[in-house]
Structure 1
Amino acid sequence: MTSDFMKELLSKDEKITVEYKTCQYGIQEDVYETVCSFSNRYGGYIIMGVEDDGTPIGINPNMVKDMKKNFVNQLNNPDKMSPTLYLSIEDIVYEGMTLLWVYVPPTSTVEKCANRIYDRNEDGDMDITDSPIQLQNMYNRKSNTYAEHKIFPYVTMEDLRMDLMDKVRNLAKSKNPDHPWLKMSDEEILKSAGLCEKDFSSGIQGYNLAGVLLFGKDDVIRSCCPGYITDALYRVENLDRYDDRLQVTTNLIEAYDLLMEFVAKHTSDKFCLINNISTSIRGIISREVIGNILVHRDYSSAYPAKVIIEKDWMRTENWCIPRRHGNIMSDEFTPYPKNPLIQQFFANIGRTDTIGSGVRNLYKYTPMYSDGGKPELIEDDVFRINIPLDRIAADEATEQKTLSEREQKIYNMICENLHLSVEQVMAELDISRSTVFRDYAKIKKVTGAAYDKKSSTWTL
């Protein structure tokens, strides 16, 4: 969060995705109602320490630590929020005053606050618990958006790997020694995480696709999600095929470990001091990359997810439902979870952080690992991540984004004459037609210029 972005959020009145709360001496109860309504609609920002008209009044700095702790505890309390949520509340000093803010992503399941259901309408939170029509509309909206929400009524606990529960509790304990899951039974954890639910529009209840992917036995996963596979390739010597390969078809909890081990096996490690602690940069990067292809892929598609490790690059591909198209930059995107249930589960066991932190971490730590290189994150029907692994890849990426002297001359000619022909470039620079087209392709990629064949005109 930057001061400029906070200024933008406070420059307008409250709306369907922005809510102001005073909360000077503690978190008000209606904050959780707003968390619930944002989760059930489009998501949004809650800013605390602000009047209803957007005037910042600040929060007592001595209260910030306790307010953060209480907020997290309440979101993980199943009596307060169901399913429980994992959100990060942050503080920022704005115009000399301390404010708290939190981004609430939309969820794939209907969220409840104190056993009441809230929906967002313009700038208010509406209790729709006793409104059957609005409830049905909400359930229909969510079930049509998220594949992980699909319920399999004939899947029973015997079809799940309940032996993984001890591992889940240990991971949750490492993340939070007082995690509520430590006091719950296996079935209560599944319900708390939203993995066992009821569709109130159809009456069907049971374990959903998220629950099957996280805990299902391999044959159950194959039956419920036939296209699920993650293909990991190490390709350095044999460029036509591969030098090593791992095909992962098991549950997401164990799949994460297998893929992390594969990356560790085929890449070098680098350490640096972070807060005076020696930290593996490769571990941070691979955690974000592996977490992304498991958490944010579209499981309704049979397109196989891939992790490809080359001599100088690590690349991933996975099918997704894009919310935007093109490169994702660290300072100009709005995080949007593709599978909120799975993301929340991974956050609870410490394998992902808050929504959006993965992009920030990749932009922060990739230059340290690759000696200056930057990651490429491209969101489209196929979501791609390209991570340079060394200086060679970093220089290659920089070269791909920089025009050569000849290419710059051609671009200058285009700027001066938007109807520039290939023949004119060939005559001016004494180069072949194929070279012109190759340079054109690079110019289009680097500058964003486009050529309309019908009008023979360049657009800059």
Structure 2
Amino acid sequence: MLHIPNLDTLPLLRESVSIECKLAIGRDGKGALPDDFWPTYSAMANTDGGLVFLGMRERQGRFEPVGIENVAKVRTELFNNLNNRQKVSINLIGNANVQEWDVAGKTLLIIEIPRATRRQRPVHLTQNPLNNNTYRRQNEGDFPLPDEEVRRMIAERVEDSRDSRILDKFGLRDLDQETLRGYRQVYRILNPDHPWANLDDQTFLQMIGGWREDRQQGEQGLTVAGLLMFGTMPSIQEALPYYMLDYQEQPESTDALRWSDRLTLDGAWSGNLYDFFRKVYLKLTADLKVPFRLENGIRQNETPVHTAMREALLNTLVHADYTDRASVKIVKRPGTFRFRNPGTMRIPVEAAIQGGEADCRNRTLHKMFRLVGLGEQAGTGIPKIFQGWQSQHWKPPTLFDSYTPFNQTVLELGMLDLFPQDVMEALHVMFGDELEQLGHDERLALALAAAENTISHARLTTVSSAHPVELTRMLQRLTQAGMLQATGSGRGTIYCLPGHGLPTVDAVFGASGSSDSKQRRLLPPNNLVSNEPLILSEQHAPNQRPSKPSKVRDQHGRLCTDQLPLPVIDDLAALSPLMRQHLESLCQQPRQKQRLTRPAMKDVLLSVCAHHYVTLGALSSLVNRKPDFLRDSYLSPLVKERLLKLAFPTTPTHDRQAYSTVAVTKAMTTDPC
């Protein structure tokens, strides 16, 4: 049933990206369902659902109740149109999803729009899903989907498994025989007495789903799963032109190449999924520093972390949409791992984390891996990943969908302590016994604010499984209790610990050459395992007066300031020749080409912004693009995707704003200032 907010919640509703407000007063001022409700209905249903407040005005980032005089008329109009297939493709809303809310003597109508299931999508206007009639929610806007993406939604709705299709004129000659031989050898070891073990290759493939006969159509042949699992790279890319696998190990040195090790489709190996899995799993786990465990007195070499890593890699491969434009990309950095697959999740993130609800995009592939002891096909993969990380008390994994530039699912694993001892000791100094009275998520919010300088509603949703509305109320309670300070308004509200103000442009660069400040950070942001001493503000540690922030340059010519956890590249002329040459080599493509694909430009920007902040002006010069174009087209979207972070979050459009890649920790920087 729809949960009705209370009046105290109203000021914080602005923080949820799944909320939309509309006036709904009509021409006569008595109430009418607005025409722009329907794109929002389609967009929220095709994304993650949301709430629509009718009779509400949004002004300067805050909600203001206006009310609806004739609520019954609006409700009737809503349901009449929901059940009209000329208006919308499906009705997802029942009486329990529509409630009245009385606020200060004014009546509002709250409509809860559920997330549509895979078999209900696309939710579209009129009877034609194409031609800009299908929408998706991005931030607080509703955007029509291109026809290519709508057709992909339709295929997802129709095909429970995307990998069982028979490929015309593909056969055994398209397979890598060494891969198939290796797979069958493992199968025989695990199942020595199984009748399939001694079948010929084609019959064996038919048993496991790699070869299929369609009796109705009178055809048989290699399936998509068979080709992906055992095929050669040229044959796979002939059938699936967007097929791309990429594994990268990125080093900790800022002056090193973009990767120290890479496995991709270069023709040096088969290029199929089974070989990719075997090679990459060994690389991922080669240097895991996780203590072994004992089971019945016997040492177990595979720990829950190894299991989590295996499940993360397996889920990436079997849930990928190999018809989509994004690549399978896995990046290993010191202390962090990032898994990306093309295609968004078929079930909500919350359901995947909870487990038990299996809806694999490539079920035959999943079956093939299971037959050699990899995976269970029971909807337990994601829970095992979270359990493995929880066993080490690390920060929970982050799992999310992204729609720009292409549909993709991203899983981020960081080996950072959730509640490091030094962070908690500093918080005890600030708040005393009050800290022990807080719940888990409240302490998590404070710990993140201490470690990262700031916390936002969006950031908190990536590490907590609590409902967004509950997180909103929690932030309100902490603010009212004086344990957090809020800065900004609207969806951009940012919180920090009391007395630990956010870095500003003037404090770092100086309004008149000065960078005086009366407060410093509690901990270096993004460094939950630092050995550096804690620095408390004057407000909470009166006997420790912070020193005047230094403003010097490191050996590379980057600006160092105690206001920020990383050095800043603000002046290319001040850089050392080696550093400037390194950055310009990273930007070689955009410097030479006026037209560059979005993925290519995105990769360049993320590489340039790793291990330091780079100002808008410096980035503009490096990639040879105008500042406004660069910010609007690339930098701001990357910030929204949580791939870049702002040095000065309270002034996101400042001309001297600086950007850094997210998830760069001290363990990844070898030359801190």
TM-score normalised according to structure 2 size: 0.38
- From 151, 154, 169, the equivalent of 2:169 is 154
Question: 1:149/1:423 Cα in 2 relative to 1: closer, same or farther (>3 Å)?
Answer: closer
**Superposed displacement of residue 311, structure 1:** 1.8
Tell which structure's C-alpha radius of gyration is larger.
2
1:356 and 2:356 correspond: no
Alignment partner, residue 281 of structure 2: 260
1:384 counterpart residue number = 410
Which whole-Å CA distance do the structure 2 matches of 1:359 and 1:193 have between them?
A: 24
Residue by residue over 1:223-270, the C-alpha shift from the partner in whole angstroms, topping out at 9 and shown as x without a partner, is: 112222221111232458223222157111211111112213454354
Change (3 A) 1:164 1:300: same
Report if aligned partners of 1:324, 1:379 keep a CA contact under 8 Å in 2: no
Q: Distance in 1 between matches of 2:354 and 2:242?
A: 34
Give, in angstroms, the shift of residue 360 of structure 1.
2.8
Question: Out of 175, 186, 192, which is 2:207 matched to?
Answer: 192
1:327, 1:376 within 8 Å by CA — same for their partners in 2? no
Q: Contact 2:393 / 2:418 at 8 angstroms: preserved in 1?
A: no
Match of 1:177 among 185, 189, 192: 192
Q: In the alignment, which residue of structure 1 is the partner of 2:247?
A: 232
Q: Which residue of the other structure, out of 389, 392, 396, is the alignment partner of 1:374? A: 396
Shift of 1:430: 11
Contact 2:345 2:401 in 1 (8 A): yes
314, 320, 325: which one aligns with 2:337: 314
Residue 411, structure 1, aligned to residue 476, structure 2? yes
* Partner secondary structure for residue 222 of structure 2: strand
Secondary structure of the equivalent of 2:329?
Answer: strand
Give the Cα separation in 2 of the matches to 1:209 and 1:172. 21
Structure 2 CA distance, aligned partners of 1:272 and 1:152? 46
| Matching of residue 241 in structure 1 with residue 258 in structure 2 | yes
SS at match of 1:334: coil
The CA distance in 1 between the partners of 2:194 and 2:420, in whole Å, is 41
Deviation of the 1:316 alpha carbon: 0.6
The CA deviation at 1:303 is 0.8
- Measured in 2, the distance between the counterparts of 1:164 and 1:406 equals 49
1:28-427 alignment runs, 5 A limit: 144-199=159-214, 202-238=217-253, 241-248=258-265, 250-265=271-286, 267-277=288-298, 278-281=300-303, 282-327=305-350, 330-331=353-354, 334-368=357-391, 370-379=392-401, 381-391=407-417, 402=448, 411-412=476-477, 422=488
SS, match of residue 147 in structure 1: coil
Contact 1:312 1:392 in 2 (8 A): no
Question: In the aligned structure 1, how far is the partner of 2:415 from the partner of 2:223?
Answer: 38
- Return the alpha-carbon distance in structure 2 between the equivalents of residues 169 and 407 of structure 1: 51
| Structure 1 Cα separation of the partners of residues 170 and 287 of structure 2 | 37
Q: Secondary structure at the match of 2:361?
A: coil
Q: CA deviation at 1:346?
A: 0.6
Indicate the SS of the match to 1:151: coil
Work out the CA distance in 2 between the residues paired with 1:386 and 1:268. Answer: 18
Q: Secondary structure at the match of 1:148?
A: coil
CA distance in 2, matches of 1:315, 1:365: 16
Tell me what 2:98 maps to. none
Amino acid at match of 1:411: Q
Q: Which runs of 5+ in 2 are unaligned?
A: 1-117, 119-154, 424-440, 457-473, 506-638, 643-673
Shift of the 354–413 alpha-carbon distance from structure 1 to 2, 3 Å rule, reads: closer
| Partner amino acid, structure 1, of 2:476 | Y
Deviations 1:121-162 (A, max 9, x none): xxxxxxxxxxxxxxxxxxx99874543133222112122123
Q: Counterparts of 1:260 and 1:232 in 2: how far apart (Å)?
A: 10
Letter in 2 for 1:334: E
User: What are the superposed Cα offsets for residues 319-350 of structure 1, whole Å, 9 maximum, x if unpaired?
Assistant: 22422344556435512111000000110011
Letter in 2 for 1:219: P
Q: For 1:167-186, what per-residue CA distance to the aligned partner results, in whole angstroms no more than 9, with x for missing partners?
A: 22332233333333213221
Counterpart position of 2:528:
none
Per the alignment, do residues 393 and 343 of structure 1 end up closer, same or farther by CA in structure 2, a change over 3 Å counting? farther
Q: Which amino acid aligns with 1:213?
A: L
Give TM-score, length-normalised by structure 1.
0.54
* Larger RCO: 1 or 2 (CA < 8 Å, sep 6+): 1
Report the Cα offset of residue 298 of structure 1: 0.9
Question: Aligned equivalents of 2:324 and 2:373: distance in 1?
Answer: 27
Match of 1:77 in 2: none
What's the secondary structure of 1:250's corresponding residue?
Answer: coil
What is the deviation of 1:279? Answer: 2.7
Equivalent residue letter for 1:246: L
Task: Map Cα deviations across residues 190-211 of structure 1 (whole Å, 9 max, x no partner).
Answer: 1112222234564443112111
Q: CA deviation at 1:377?
A: 2.8
Aligned residues: 294
SS at match of 1:317: strand
CA distance in 1, matches of 2:489, 2:183: 66
The Cα offsets for residues 269-306 of structure 1, whole Å up to 9 and x where unpaired, read as 54212454423224322211211112111111131111
Query: What is the letter of the counterpart of residue 373 of structure 2?
Result: G
Structure 1 residues 244 and 351, CA gap change in structure 2 (3 angstroms): same
Provide the secondary structure at the position in 2 that maps to 1:149. coil
Find the aligned partners of 2:262 and 2:157 in 1 and give their Cα distance.
37
Structure 1 residues 345, 411: CA separation in 2 closer, same or farther (over 3 Å shift)?
A: same
The one-letter code matched in structure 1 to 2:184 is R
RMSD value, Cα = 4.2
CA gap of 1:258–1:430, structure 2 versus 1, over 3 A, is closer
**1:87-134 CA-partner distances (Å, limit 9, x unpaired):** xxxxxxxxxxxxxxxxxxx9xxxxxxxxxxxxxxxxxxxxxxxxxxxx
Q: Contact 1:313–1:393 (CA<8 Å) still a contact in 2? A: no
Inter-CA distance 303–275: structure 2 relative to 1 (3 Å threshold): farther
- Partner Cα distance (1:164, 1:236) in 2: 30
The residue type equivalent to 2:272 in the other structure is N
Structure 1 residues 431 and 399, CA gap change in structure 2 (3 angstroms): closer
The whole-number CA distance in structure 1 between the counterparts of 2:346 and 2:380 is 17
Separation (CA, whole Å) in 2 of partners of 1:393 and 1:227: 42
The code of the aligned residue for 1:382 comes to Q
Structure 1 residues 154 and 272: CA distance shift in structure 2, 3 A: same
Q: What secondary structure is seen at the aligned counterpart in 2 of 1:361?
A: helix
What percentage of residue pairs aligned between the two structures are identical?
Answer: 19
